[in-house]
């Protein structure tokens, strides 16, 4: 497809379980971002990849959260020992990188809604 | 210093009217101010964006007004239509990717 694809669209899990959320960015976009959106709030930055490397992971809330992008395309957000407070919509976005160092327009996927019971 | 404050939280406008949403920021280093539109169950989509070297930017029915000295910017939707009903987010960043988002405004356009 032409847009950012995220799977699963919905995930319900029990407290303490491990969860993986997948993001397939727009082809050719080297920059990839994960954001988290709680109900009634704006998205909150988690991590930014430029190619295969995490250029900035300062938004990850704690060491239970980890993300990878091994081949510079698809990314997986991994959450260990899930807690009820992790319940949110996890949004992935991608963009072209610009020579100026700025990133271009962010294109968001529809998100993965995580519910931790 | 990193906050972006958005108001109102919700807004009801008659069809054909003007919708106005306001945002204020604190960090004077911010140099990119986008507005995003989000429909239920969808990801945010970029609507219009401005950089601080201009005071206004217009795209169709959507206009951003930017006041650098007051550290405020606003979105105006002219001739508001029912299809504009959505949640609108302002955001700000320094140069690149780490957008700081407002809390959102739920806009309802009454037919």
Q: To 10 degrees, the CA torsion angle through A8, A33, B49, B32?
A: 160
Q: Please say if the pLDDT value at position A34 is more than 80.
A: yes
Residues of A in contact with B32 (CB under 8 A): 102
Model confidence band, residue B4 (pLDDT cutoffs 50, 70, 90): very high
Q: Please say if the pLDDT value at position A60 is more than 70.
A: yes
What would the pLDDT profile of B68-98 be if each residue is shown by its tens digit?
999 999 999 999 999 999 999 999 988 656 8
Cβ–Cβ contact B44 with A under 8 A: yes
Mutation target to probe the B interface, by most B beta carbons within 10 A, among A43, A91, A100, A109 is: A43
> CA nearest A59: which of A84, A81, A88, A100?
A88
Q: Are B76 and B63 in contact (CB under 8 A)?
A: yes
Average pLDDT over residues A101-117: 86
What would the pLDDT profile of A62-90 be if each residue is shown by its tens digit?
999 999 999 989 999 999 999 999 999 99
- Higher local confidence (pLDDT), A96 or A4: A4
The tokens for B44 are 């945010």
């Amino acid at each position: 497809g032409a847009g950012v694809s995220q799977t699963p669209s919905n995930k319900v899990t029990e407290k303490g379980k491990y969860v993986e959320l997948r993001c397939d960015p727009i082809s050719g976009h080297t920059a990839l971002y994960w954001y988290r959106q709680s109900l009634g709030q704006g998205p909150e930055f988690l991590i930014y990849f430029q190619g295969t490397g995490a250029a900035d992971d300062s938004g990850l809330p704690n060491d239970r959260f980890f993300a990878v992008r091994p081949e510079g395309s698809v990314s997986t957000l991994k959450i260990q020992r899930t807690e009820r407070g992790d319940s949110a919509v996890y949004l992935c976005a991608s963009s072209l990188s610009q020579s100026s160092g700025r990133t271009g327009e962010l294109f968001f996927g529809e998100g993965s809604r995580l519910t931790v019971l | 210093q990193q906050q972006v404050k958005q108001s109102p939280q919700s807004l009801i406008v008659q069809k054909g009217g003007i919708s106005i949403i306001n945002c204020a920021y604190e960090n004077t280093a911010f140099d990119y101010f986008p507005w995003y539109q989000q429909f239920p169950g969808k990801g945010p989509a970029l609507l219009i964006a401005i950089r601080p070297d201009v005071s206004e930017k217009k795209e169709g029915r959507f206009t951003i007004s930017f006041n650098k000295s007051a550290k405020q910017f606003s979105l105006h939707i002219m001739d508001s239509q029912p299809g504009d009903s959505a949640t609108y987010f302002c955001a700000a960043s320094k140069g690149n990717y780490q957008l700081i988002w407002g809390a959102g405004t739920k806009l309802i356009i009454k037919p």
